[in-house]
Amino acid sequence: MEKTKQWGWSPQWRKCCRGRKRKNTLHPHKERQHLPVAAEQNRQRWLFAVYKPPGVAWNRVRDAVETRLLRELNAAPAWPPRSRIRFLPAASAGPPGLVAVRVPVLAEHRLVRGPRFTQLKIGAGHRLDVKASGVFVLGVGHGNKILSHLYNCHLSKVYTVRGQFGKATKDFSDTGKLIEKTTFDHITREKLERILAVIQGTNHKALLMHSNIDMKTQEAYELAVKGLIRPMGKSPPIITAIRCLQFALPEFQLEIHCLHETQQYLRKIVHEIGLELKSSAVCTQVRRTRDGVFTLDDALLRTQWNLQSIQNAILNCQLRVKTEIEKTMSHWDGTCAPGGTSTSPLG
């Protein structure tokens, strides 16, 4: 076939070459359809939960985990440095000339190169303020993207909240500036539970309103069966369930299931409960016991913030995270995504 002077090959030959598919010469045994599966498995391995103690800021907890991981990763045995062939002069006792010698590449030695890891990208999930404690979700590497997808699922969180009747403070906590003292002998558990029922009923109406769902449709029934009735956008704090766990005047303990809340909002709820009961109340403890699929059993204590424990926690939680994201996105992608396009993180 003749070559052209300007382009080198004839247009017919170039057209023929463009139509051919190139083979994967690096990994010819790997099929293209296997790549998304491997990528999906990688994306699911970087979420875990730790237990945040009270009195510590959330960013200090994150930094402590990062520091511990960096220390252990850099202390792990490293690959030996590469070697190269150098031609050195022969020993004086032998014949003159050059001898091929294999020597290590000193530029790759740990003492020359320095620490292998200097920074880890660790992201925080739903944050806890300084006074609160409980389950605190973190993501490493690609887990930061999974954190955002998990956040968009708008999963409920569970708190145990302790309160004390008889006094009110400026910030609704027991450590705030005291405003007033009141009596509380007239309060009973039955009166408290009636107030809780009113709060739950009011918030249930708000939940349906912000979910933007017609409750008379088949779609609403299917969502209710799957437990997916919840606002999938911005909304005010919503309490989906509230009940009394303990009652021993002047102290009481509540379990609160909620969405889009802050810990200060929960303290304000305790304050308002005291007002409704013709008294006053302060919040003495806010403790998160569940954040979506993560529970207290999944949260690593301070002594467990090490590489091996975090690896085990990631493996234990990855299937639940994947299942919850797929369950939520499988319905809401078609109804909430612009143009009906899929926004699932799992491809």
- Domains of the chain, start order: 39-76+116-155+293-347 (no CATH), 156-291 (3.30.2350.10)
Residue 63: active-site member: no
Distance CA 319, CA 274 (A): 42
Identify the segments of the chain with pLDDT beneath 70. Answer: 1-45, 92-95, 109, 114, 212, 214-216, 219-229, 331-347
**How much is the pLDDT for 224?**
64
Q: Tokens 């520091």 sit at which residue?
A: 67
327 burial (CB, 10 Å; 0-12 / 13-18 / 19+) is middle
How open is the CA angle 44-290-225, to the nearest 5 degrees?
80
How open is the CA angle 244-245-250, to the nearest 5 degrees?
75
Residue 233 per-residue DSSP state: S
**How much is the pLDDT for 69?**
92
Do residues 284 and 161 touch, judged by C-beta distance below 8 A? no
CA 3 vs. chain centroid, Å, equals 60
Residues near 200 by beta carbon (within 8 Å), at least 6 away in sequence? 239, 240, 241, 242
Do residues 28 and 339 touch, judged by C-beta distance below 8 A? no
**How much is the pLDDT for 8?**
43
SS3 (DSSP) at 155 = coil
Annotated catalytic residue, options 129, 171, 291, 333: 129
Percent of the chain residues past pLDDT 70, beyond the cut:
74
Of residues 329, 330, 315, the one with CA closest to residue 150: 329
Six-digit token pair at 220?
């609403």
**How much is the pLDDT for 40?**
40
| Sign of the four-CA dihedral 191, 196, 199, 202 | negative
**What does the buried/exposed string (b/e) look like for 221-234 if buried means 16 or more CB atoms within 10 Å of the residue's CB?**
eebeeeebbbbbee
Distance CA 239, CA 257 (A): 6
Give the predicted TM-score (pTM) of the model: 0.75
Do residues 255 and 242 touch, judged by C-beta distance below 8 A? yes
Torsion of CA 305, 306, 312, 314, to 10 degrees: 60
